[in-house]
Amino acid sequence: MENQVLTPHVYWAQRHRELYLRVELSDVQNPAISITENVLHFKAQGHGAKGDNVYEFHLEFLDLVKPEEEERLNKLRLESQGSPETLISLKKGYLFMYNLVQFLGFSWMFVNMTVRFFILGKESFYDTFHTMADMMYFCQMLSVVETINAAIGVTKSPVMPSLIQLLGRNFILFIIFGTMEEMQNKAVVFFVFYTWSTIEIFRYPFYMLYCLDMDWKVLTWLRYTVWIPLYPLGCLAEAVSVIQSIPVFNETGRFSFTLPYPVKIKVRFSFFLQIYLILLFLGLYINFRHLYKQRRRRYGQKKKKIN
């Protein structure tokens, strides 16, 4: 006796230019999916509301389906991992948690440094590294995830600006500050950490709300504006830290080396630091340009309408 043909539960979701259909079936076998003009045809063996049966439905659209959309449909495969809607929800949940953890970390440092400054004044500058280093290490190591997300397509952010910021900050944190105790007691550490934290306490909550499809205008404006003074100030503080570290590296000879015979020339690490100073401002230009384009895309259209 042939299995009875039943209609499965079909859920419709539409966002921007994307259309999602979720067919509530499990253990699907031999799915047949096709489009004829403006009608979607679906037939498959699977486990649904009426148990294990053949389920079938036909969905009529308001207009003809474009040929390129038919081609995309031909590449459709049902996967056991879940529906596109479920995968999108999982991705948003993962990104929300990542941004939340980073926001809490940088907020803790920002509040801590601010309170210490008001209580201790300039004296708080000189032990910033010893009080904040562990949390900054954690946040900066975790920021590797941000670059990976951009590289594998989890986020739509370009890889280069994220990679430049990751490498630049970690070089300052792990090499300039982390390896040289003489640098850890300098006031410049406070200004580097403070500018980094100030930028991130606006950036990460913006991304958190974005994961929830929410837009708080004040926070959005701050996210697209506060970097204008803070990025150059942060770059300047990083440059000062590199300049101050040059005589320290020369004295200690750390990371310096001698070329093999017959050259036998000693190459000081300070030579690479001078090259890094040039790359530092080049990276600032690339990131500044990227952020300016983002801001222009966000607010440029409104200005054109007014004109």
The pLDDT, as a whole number, for residue 12 is 82
pLDDT digits (tens, 9 = 90+) for 228-272: 999 999 999 999 999 999 999 999 999 998 888 887 888 999 999
The pLDDT, as a whole number, for residue 81 is 41
266: β partners: 258
Residues in the chain: 307
The pLDDT, as a whole number, for residue 116 is 96
Between 2 and 65, residue with greater pLDDT = 65
Between 4 and 164, residue with greater pLDDT = 164
Q: How far apart are CA 307 and CA 302, in angstroms?
A: 9
The pLDDT, as a whole number, for residue 108 is 98
The pLDDT, as a whole number, for residue 299 is 86
The pLDDT, as a whole number, for residue 217 is 93
pLDDT digits (tens, 9 = 90+) for 105-144: 999 999 999 999 999 999 999 999 999 999 999 999 999 9
With helix as H, strand as E and coil as C, how does the chain read? Answer: CCCCEECCCEEEEEECCEEEEEECCEEEEEEEEEEECCEEEEEEEEEECCEEEEEEEEEECCCCCCHHHHHHHHCCCCCCCCCHHHHHHHHHHHHHHHHHHHHHHHHHHHHHHHHHHHHHHHHHHHHHHHHHHHHHHHHHHHCHHHHHHHHHCCCCCCHHHHHHHHHHHHHHHHHHHCCCHHHHCCCHHHHHHHHHHHHHHHHHHHHHHHHCCCCCHHHHHHHCCCHHHHHHHHHHHHHHHHHHHHHHHHHHCCCCEECCCCCCCEECHHHHHHHHHHHHHHHHHHHHHHHHHHHHHHHHHHHHHHC
- Annotated catalytic residue within 238, 251, 261, 292: 238
pLDDT digits (tens, 9 = 90+) for 173-198: 999 999 999 999 999 999 999 999 99
The pLDDT, as a whole number, for residue 6 is 86
Between the CA atoms of 235, 236, 241 and 243, what dihedral angle is there, to the nearest 10 degrees?
120
Catalytic-residue membership of 238: yes
pLDDT at 147 over 70: yes
The pLDDT, as a whole number, for residue 161 is 92
pLDDT at 206 over 60: yes
The pLDDT, as a whole number, for residue 72 is 57
Task: At 198, list the tokens.
Answer: 């100030």
The pLDDT, as a whole number, for residue 288 is 92
pLDDT digits (tens, 9 = 90+) for 23-66: 888 878 888 888 888 888 888 888 888 888 888 988 888 777 76
- Annotated catalytic residue within 231, 251, 276, 285: 231
Confidence of residue 73 (pLDDT cuts 50, 70, 90): low
Query: Mean pLDDT over residues 132-159, rounded?
Result: 94
Between 145 and 24, residue with greater pLDDT = 145
pLDDT at 82 over 70: no
Q: Are strands 51-60 and 39-48 parallel, antiparallel or unpaired?
A: antiparallel
The pLDDT, as a whole number, for residue 307 is 43
